[in-house]
Amino acid sequence: MKSDPVTLLGLSLLVGLLAIAPARADPASCDVPAYLLLTESPLPKVEAAIKSGRPLDIVVVGSRSSSIATSEASAWPGRLQASLKERLKVPVNLSVELQVKKTAEEVATDIVKLVEGKKPALVIWQTGTYDAMRSVDPEDFRTAVGDGAVALQGAGADVILMNLQYSPRTESMISASPYLDNMRVVAQEHEVPLFDRFAIMRHWSDQGDFDLFGAGHGLDLAKRVHDCIGRVLAKFVVDAARLEPAQQN
């Protein structure tokens, strides 16, 4: 039986995240340069929910890299929820809608249906990886992401776009730049915060916090990467919501 090249590439990306060896003893601070977390686009629905004391409802629409097979709590959405609970004085409810092996266009078609019953204040849409793997036309990708973001805003939710994960082991296999660039354009056009996961992970790799070239399998270390993503994203959400100290723990 022939192997699907897209499936093989997907496995390579997953292994690239799971096969992480530490170059430093413990990058527990999850340090990220301030410029990578700056956004001029606010999150008014998130701000309103927290200021009113209502629970903050979040839906993550993501791909396989939103999960860790052995533990949902260890994946970055679970770590995001835990970190927000530590930071905020309101309950935080988070659910994940996995859209595995779907392009942005396929997800955008039904994205409002995925979240409408939950009426979230915030939708975090992680996209771009599968489009890059399939070499989807970047212009079509940009249109799809824009349509999805507008649809979610029209349904009453704030939106954060999250781009691809960085893996130096797969750079020669996919061309990420057109999709990264087009997500930035969409974020600017529709005043949507962009969480630049790609640049953040590349920074950690360049600084030696995590050796993304490592060939040894390490699920515990993959959990540490997810933990850092969740914690940094929580700060990003709080900052973009323009919260006052009184609304934070």
Is 6 or 142 the better-scoring residue by pLDDT? 142
pLDDT, mean of residues 109-120: 92
Question: In the predicted model, what is the mean pLDDT of residues 146-168?
Answer: 94
115: enclosing H helix or E strand: helix 104-115
The yes-or-no verdict on residue 11 having pLDDT over 80 is no
Local structure of 151: helix, strand or coil: helix
The pLDDT of residue 9 is: 46
Neighbours of 79 (CB within 10 A): 22
- Condensed to tens digits (0 to 9), the pLDDT of residues 179-225 reads 999 999 999 999 999 999 999 999 988 887 776 665 444 677 778 88
CATH homologous superfamily, domain 5-243? SGNH hydrolase (3.40.50.1110)
Report the pLDDT value the prediction gives residue 24, as an integer from 0 to 100.
42
Task: Return the sign of the alpha-carbon dihedral for residues 166, 172, 178, 181.
Answer: positive
Residues 6+ apart with CB under 8 A from 143: 105
- Answer whether 136's CB lies under 8 Å from 175's CB: no
Average pLDDT, the chain: 84
pLDDT tens per residue, range 34-87: 999 999 999 999 999 999 999 999 999 987 766 654 567 788 999 999 999 999
